[in-house]
Structure 1
């Protein structure tokens, strides 16, 4: 049996409004996107989420089924959540959300090789406390935890509260990734790079920061590397960071590195190069559509 991953958090539908006025609907949500990325790269992946019995819910279930992700019902959700993404002329997305997060039951992380949490599911009440408890339990039992804050100020608590939650979750996580936009929100006047160093000092074996079209930064202990991003024609940036994180976690599992407590510069560079290549494929096509393993091998 191959490695197994449990992902916990929101599953929703991205309603994308393009500059020309066209509208498209794609399944999304950061944990869902990470789950799809990992499953498409050969990981036995389970997503615990709240998905309604409605048209958007049907879209999500069909998408997960096509990608090989097992969906576990975390409790009744009412209508399936949505995120309206408005795309500007450069392909960047801004979001408005309509969802709730109140899981009533979550799987035992001991049944999996890795637990990943993040985004809205990690800091939107009332479910955030259940996620934090799950992460602490996994950490206490010595299991690997991945975390991506994926900050959304329109839904989150006040920044000081959000910042402390991010630090608390990072301290119980082995692999942490954030974007430079996340870091700017959490920086309290400092630089995004200073936030990465702070998170790395909380105890993760690997901390990383993506910076859009600029190089990604990966840090482990005293080792830090920058990995250039391939230049591609951008359809939109939806799911780019989630693809990056899902690819990183899949690589760690497939290489048998998920229990590592540190990485050298060459290993960081290898991991980063695969992650940026996968992310570049995602931004080259509409919506959160991560590559399959064969596509990465071809790259």
Structure 2
């Protein structure tokens, strides 16, 4: 009998309110950790999301979405209105965000018993909950539970550059799989570095895999002395919401599916195989409105 891998995702859940150039408005459940959890569940992973959801209309949208995707919800309180993010799309489909949220979880689940945990985005660096998440990650690391981490930085909500950089690198040092976008890397870079030096610095801090996504350009994956570049499929873009989250969720799902989460290094072929699956899934997400990751049968995992 095959045992279904179990994953725990920790971080914010919110409703994306999308305002298009033509003035129309759409509401979709979102938030980077929620999108990662949905991606993994749709790809056959037994996934739990620990987050804060209110008893309101937006909360009902999120609960229904998670239930339909097969994600188990753990509400970590305290009671509060459900968070939201307004995404204004330009003519190319690129999004800029405004947020209405809080992150102050009372208590997070015990990471033991899960095959993998993932943290990221606002939940990993916004006070006061960031300290709780950092403690959770250290506990998972001490218990030997592999950690995925995607900073998914929103500069308008982030702390000072020095504080943010310290938080990101501290979490990366106890994480096994780290993904950042070129926009994240630009925020983390100082006057003496660029996005590629940030990638190298993060890779040298301890992760088994460190990845850099660059929108429609090729993605980079590195593990010890192995480095690969994976081309992104060309598709008609509806919008870019949830693309990076789908990328990360697919990477983690593939690692779990192959039982690779406890490995400390990967060959170039392995990195290319993982990257191809991630870019293929993300391409499907950008081809349709909102954060709507593909189901397992919609693309061929590698």
TM range (shorter): over 0.9
Q: Is contact 1:85-1:93 (8 Å) kept?
A: yes
**Match of 1:69?**
71
Aligned-partner SS, 1:24: strand
Q: Does 1:242 align with 2:245?
A: yes
Question: What is the CA distance between 1:77 and its match in structure 2?
Answer: 3.8
**Match of 1:172?**
174
Correspondent of 2:216 among 213, 235, 241: 213
1-structure distance, mates of 2:252, 2:13: 19
Q: Does 1:278 align with 2:267?
A: no
2-structure distance, mates of 1:207, 1:64: 28
**Match of 2:263?**
260
2-structure distance, mates of 1:269, 1:280: 16
Q: Spell out, residue by residue over 1:260-284, the C-alpha distance to the aligned partner (whole angstroms, 9 max, x if none).
A: 0000101000000000000000000
1-structure distance, mates of 2:40, 2:301: 17
Q: Is contact 1:225-1:268 (8 Å) kept?
A: yes
Pairs within 5 Å for 1:175-194:
175-189=177-191, 190-194=193-197
**Match of 1:122?**
124
Question: What is the CA distance between 1:111 and its match in structure 2?
Answer: 1.6
TM-align CA RMSD? 1.0
Q: Is contact 1:51-1:76 (8 Å) kept?
A: no
2-structure distance, mates of 1:278, 1:143: 25
Q: Does 1:83 align with 2:85?
A: yes
Aligned-partner SS, 1:291: coil
Q: Does 1:199 align with 2:202?
A: yes
Q: Spell out, residue by residue over 1:37-96, the C-alpha distance to the aligned partner (whole angstroms, 9 max, x if none).
A: 000000000000000000000000000000000000101241100000001111110101
**Match of 2:147?**
145
Q: Spell out, residue by residue over 1:144-170, the C-alpha distance to the aligned partner (whole angstroms, 9 max, x if none).
A: 000000001111100111011000000
Q: Is contact 1:77-1:100 (8 Å) kept?
A: no
1-structure distance, mates of 2:183, 2:79: 29
Aligned-partner SS, 1:109: coil
What TM-score do you get using the length of structure 2 for normalisation? 0.98
Mind listing any 5+ residue stretches in structure 1 that lack a counterpart? none
Correspondent of 2:133 among 115, 122, 131: 131
2-structure distance, mates of 1:135, 1:298: 28
Q: Is contact 2:277-2:300 (8 Å) kept?
A: no
2-structure distance, mates of 1:144, 1:245: 14
Aligned-partner SS, 1:297: coil
Pairs within 5 Å for 1:19-98:
19-98=21-100
- Structure 1 segments (4+ residues) deviating >3 Å: none
2-structure distance, mates of 1:77, 1:239: 26
Mind listing any 5+ residue stretches in structure 2 that lack a counterpart? none
Question: What is the CA distance between 1:298 and its match in structure 2?
Answer: 9.0
